[in-house]
Amino acid sequence: MTIYLVTGGVKSGKSRFAEGLSESLQSEVIYIATSRPKDEEMAQRVIQHREERPAHWGLIEEPLRLAEAIYNAPSTALLLIEDVATWVANLLFAEGLDEDYSPEGRIEFLDKMKQEVDYLLQVLQGRPAVLVTGEVGLGGVAIHPVTRLYQDALGEVNQRLAEVSREVWLVVSGVPTRIKG
């Protein structure tokens, strides 16, 4: 498995960098989008991203079943997955955890995320992939319990992905820095 992980803050330039990295690695790229636009402004962002990508790239849109989308993608293509942070948020909301939850619900969701990442890594075996994610480790601990759960889940997912990645890149203000590999 050859994974390249690209992380950074919102509007840091990580998407642009990940697209360039993907194109430099392989000509056949399948873009797997996890976004579910729920308002007009987000829909416009998705359209803009789509227009900026090379027209010959494939596209799979899957907000929840990321591992299945990877499994069903052509095996010859490099997969550009944008993005892991949105996928984790989608799973959190799909579980109905967008309001208060019990301590047991917290443990169950974190366990589910571990299983999801294990499955994701299983289907990525032998596949080249560039994964984009948001970095949650640069700010303080969130005040709201749901936001804390999201930070904890995404932080664990990111650490697991970084552990198995060939390279990890941090993009800050449009400047990519390789931090692993």
92: its two tokens: 């959190």
Among the listed residues 2, 16, 46, 49, the single catalytic one is 49
Q: Which two tokens stand for residue 137?
A: 């480790």
Q: Which of 116, 17, 124 is nearest to 78 (CA)?
A: 124
Residue 144 designated active-site = no
Q: Are the CB atoms for 86 and 34 separated by under 8 Å?
A: yes
- Provide the 8-state DSSP code for 178: E
| Total Cβ atoms within 10 A of residue 87 | 27
Residues with catalytic roles: 49
